[in-house]
Chains A and B, each alone.
Chain A
Amino acid sequence: MDMINQQIDKNESSGSIASSAKFKALLKNNGALVALIVLLIINAIFTPHFFAMQTFYINMTQVAPIAIVAIGMCLVIASGNGGIDISVGSVLALAGALAPMVFMSEFGLNNPGIAIALAIVLPLLVATSCGLFNGFLVGHYRIQPMIATLILFISGRGIAQLLTNGDIQTFNNDFFQYLGTGRLFGIPIQAVILIIIALFVSWIIKTSKFGRYLLAVGGNDKAAFLCGLPTFKVKLIAYGFCGFCAGMAGLFTTAMNSASDANTAGLLMELDGISAAVVGGTVMMGGKAPVIGAVIGALVIQMMTYTLLANGISDSAAMIAKAAIIIGAIYLQLKNKQKH
């Protein structure tokens, strides 16, 4: 429905007053974007040094893991039937713990070049297979996603702690740390990768067969199955990709801290990811995958927290504000939907 509405909006606004009408429609459909703009304006007025490059770097590096997880979460939620992946935090910790183990192993020290490549590929592979495992439980056994992913939520972190013996691994490896502190054309590398992933996934959803299948399966699982769509495969890909995203976020987190801590890495990441996706317009019922919206949602939550902290409000109070903004954003979305 919404896609059709957007299409109509587009057609209507192709006249001479196109640009302003288009902009209005865009704002109307995008509560998160409005919130982001409002936050930026507030910051521009109240927060000192807001336009310093440092602020930009800090926010971009902090938001990247959340935003990437939010993209994966967005696809999983879109796949319907209560789609959710609460294991992302644990998978993040697992991937983050694996990377230094690879390049700090004896083999890694002897072959630094191969080790770095392996330290990136192996954790991503493991994370993706965690996601595929979730997808298998959800798709094949039809276990409710919340419960199916609860298994890895509990065990994933346990495995990471077993591997590292619960110790914090610190390291000094310029190549790997580039993933955390490096910059490309003056933009933090995480942000660059985030933008590439976001645009690519968004393009896939809009243009590919998989995208249409995903939304169809999310809209009505049974109908899609009866139409001959490969519902199992679609779910497998959605959950697998979410695992991949969590793995990517794990690499970023470890690289940025130049240490991996299996006990605390990615704690409550699932909540941030879900909140970002939902604030960005993902509907919990499934069938809608606003990937760019999820990234904007992550930015809103990040800016919100940053605004409060930069203006001397305690992070405990920021948690309460975060709760309020989640409820507020979703309430506005529901209200807008009812009007249509």
Chain B
Amino acid sequence: MKLNKWMKKSQHPLLRTEAVWVALTLIIVFASLRYDDFLSPYNIESFFSYNSMFILISIGMCFVIMTGGIDLSVGGVVALSSVMVAYVSPYGIVTALIVGALTGLICGLINAVVIIRLRIAPFIATLAMMLASRGVALLVSGKQSVPISWEGSFPEYGMGLMFDLIPWPVVVCLVIAIMAWVLLEKMPFGRAVLAVGEDEEAAKLMGLKVNKTITLVYVISGVLAGLAGVTLAASFGAGQPAEGVGWELIAISAVVVGGTLLTGGLGSITASIAGVVLMGLIFNILNFENGYGSFTISTYWQSVIRGLFLLLVLIIQAEVLKRLRNKKTAQ
């Protein structure tokens, strides 16, 4: 119980999630006033079914970053999983979900073993996995996209809606987001993750199973990337061995925009998801603006604006941190 209290105390001053919520609200208000179709069911559905993949990998990334690690392999794992899933798509969506999750689980386990047993830095270990998983994906698929079977329940996952309302990938994503939130905020595992990120040595001395925690974190990240691969294959109708390049960086930037520090020890699932939505909305709004017709903005602006946005958030974060540090020394 004491640990819990201490965690709560230590989380508050440094975890700055307000910025992302304020920005998100402002952008949504602006966009819904300016574009008639912005809040249309079609836009919301397609926005979330595409971004559900990024939400999944960002949740995994959030866990990894909270332990002070990083997982650069998610993009490759998404591609590999989408290829594997496309091959088993005739057997239905349940098999596909299991195969996708298993593919990710294996990749995550290998990451964890390399990091823990070989004592190689997470950055390098997952960088190697990024190459390896993409290599396997390209090798297995012969560098071609693998068409899915259009019979059975698998394509329904990509196209259909639950209660004629919510796309299935969004349902899965929602369930996982809730599970992740519970895991982080209400379970001992979440506190162990934060403790390991705060100070690995201290966590070990407190009797926490550091290695087990780290392993689980990379496995979670792998499994979620695997599930994102299922969504990719189902909604684009093919396993895509060349897709997912740079997705790990999108996930990392979303998590950082959500206020999570790369040094570990604190983080928020909800704010990370808000980060994904925020970064995704930039693209969505550019599309609307172009559709508006008064003037056209090149899609290349998207990356420039995303970068500027990230810069802004980081500088605000840095200023806040500096002020807090000064306050601490003043006391």
By a beta-carbon cutoff of 8 Å, the part of chain A in contact with chain B is 82, 84, 86, 137, 141-144, 146-148, 150-159, 161-162, 165-166, 267-268, 271, 274-275, 278, 284, 314-320, 322-324, 326-327, 330-331, 334
Please name 17 further chain A to chain B contacts, defined as beta carbons within 8 Å, in addition to the given A152-B307, A319-B138, sorted by A numbering.
A82-B262, A84-B123, A146-B70, A147-B256, A147-B310, A153-B249, A156-B307, A157-B303, A162-B300, A271-B131, A284-B124, A316-B136, A317-B135, A319-B131, A320-B132, A327-B114, A327-B120
Cα–Cα, bound, A316→B76 (Å): 12
Q: Which residues of B238-256 are within 8 A (CB) of A?
A: 245, 249, 252-253, 256
Task: Tell me the nearest residue of chain A to B121, going by C-beta.
Answer: A284
By a beta-carbon cutoff of 8 Å, the part of chain B in contact with chain A is 70, 114, 118-121, 123-125, 127-132, 134-136, 138-139, 143, 245, 249, 252-253, 256, 261-263, 298, 300-304, 306-308, 310-311, 314-315, 317-319, 321-322
| A150 and B136 form a contact (CB under 8 A) | no
Residues of B within 8 A of A150 (CB): 249, 252-253, 256, 310
Residues of B within 8 A of A159 (CB): 304
| A320 and B135 form a contact (CB under 8 A) | yes
Name 27 interchain pairs, CB-CB below 8 A, sorted by A: A86-B249, A142-B318, A142-B321, A143-B314, A146-B252, A146-B262, A147-B253, A150-B249, A151-B314, A152-B307, A155-B308, A158-B303, A268-B245, A278-B124, A284-B121, A316-B135, A316-B138, A316-B139, A316-B143, A319-B131, A319-B138, A322-B135, A323-B128, A323-B129, A323-B130, A326-B128, A327-B128
Known contacts being A284-B123, A319-B135, A323-B128, is A154 close to B307, with CB within 8 Å? yes
Residues of A within 8 A of B301 (CB): 158, 162
Residues of B within 8 A of A327 (CB): 114, 118, 120, 124-125, 128
Please report whether the interface of chain B is mostly helix, strand, loop or mixed according to DSSP: helix
Residues of A within 8 A of B119 (CB): 334
| A148 and B314 form a contact (CB under 8 A) | yes
Q: What are the nearest 7 A-B pairs in CB distance?
A: A155-B307, A158-B303, A319-B135, A316-B138, A323-B132, A141-B318, A320-B135
Residue among B114, B263, B314 having the largest count of chain A Cβ atoms under 10 Å: B314
Cα–Cα, bound, A162→B307 (Å): 14
B125 CB to nearest chain A CB (Å):
7
Cα–Cα, bound, A334→B114 (Å): 13
Residues of B within 8 A of A137 (CB): 311, 314
Task: Tell me the nearest residue of chain A to B131, going by C-beta.
Answer: A323
Cα–Cα, bound, A45→B123 (Å): 36
B311 CB to nearest chain A CB (Å):
5
A77 CB to nearest chain B CB (Å):
10
Quick one: which of B129, B262, B304 contacts A155, CB cutoff 8 A? B304
Residues of A within 8 A of B263 (CB): 144
Residues of B within 8 A of A161 (CB): 298, 300, 303
Residues of A within 8 A of B136 (CB): 316, 320
Cα–Cα, bound, A120→B99 (Å): 51
Residues of B within 8 A of A318 (CB): 135
| B298 and A275 form a contact (CB under 8 A) | no
Residues of B within 8 A of A156 (CB): 307
Residues of A within 8 A of B253 (CB): 147, 150, 154
B318 CB to nearest chain A CB (Å):
4
Task: Tell me the nearest residue of chain B to A156, going by C-beta.
Answer: B307
| A326 and B118 form a contact (CB under 8 A) | no
| A166 and B139 form a contact (CB under 8 A) | no
Cα–Cα, bound, A337→B166 (Å): 55
B257 CB to nearest chain A CB (Å):
10
| A151 and B128 form a contact (CB under 8 A) | no
| A166 and B300 form a contact (CB under 8 A) | yes
Task: Tell me the nearest residue of chain B to A145, going by C-beta.
Answer: B262
Quick one: which of A154, A162, A320 contacts B306, CB cutoff 8 A? A154
Cα–Cα, bound, A320→B134 (Å): 8
Residues of B within 8 A of A268 (CB): 245
| B135 and A323 form a contact (CB under 8 A) | yes
| B310 and A154 form a contact (CB under 8 A) | yes
| A319 and B134 form a contact (CB under 8 A) | yes
Residues of A within 8 A of B262 (CB): 82, 144, 146-147
A92 CB to nearest chain B CB (Å):
15
Residue among A157, A314, A320 having the largest count of chain B Cβ atoms under 10 Å: A320
Task: Tell me the nearest residue of chain B to A321, going by C-beta.
Answer: B135
| B314 and A330 form a contact (CB under 8 A) | no
Task: Tell me the nearest residue of chain B to A284, going by C-beta.
Answer: B121
B211 CB to nearest chain A CB (Å):
17
